[in-house]
Amino acid sequence: MDTRVEAVVARTLEFVPTGATHWSTCTMAREMGMSQTAVSRIWRAFGLRPHRQETFKLSTDPFL
């Protein structure tokens, strides 16, 4: 695997950009010094979708 590809995948999975909840192709491209298209292709190839976080919330409703 190319070291730049590996770096994009690692940063996507391990870090969150300052002042945001997830990476966008624009912010990742700026951070890594590559085009948005390149970031998009890398994410697609590895099935990464940073805007789709798997989270859940616990209800505070006592009757559930």
Which tokens sit at 22?
């997830």
Q: Structure pTM?
A: 0.76
Q: Domain-by-domain residue ranges, the chain?
A: 3-14+21-46
Contact, 16 vs 23, CB < 8 A?
Answer: yes
pLDDT at 58: 65
Of 18, 41, 21, residue with least CA distance to 29: 41
- Give the C-alpha distances (Å, rounded to integers) separating 64 from 55, 56, 61: 19, 15, 6
64 residues of the chain, pLDDT tens digit each: 699 999 999 999 998 888 888 899 999 999 999 999 999 999 999 999 887 666 556 677 777 6
pLDDT at 52: 66
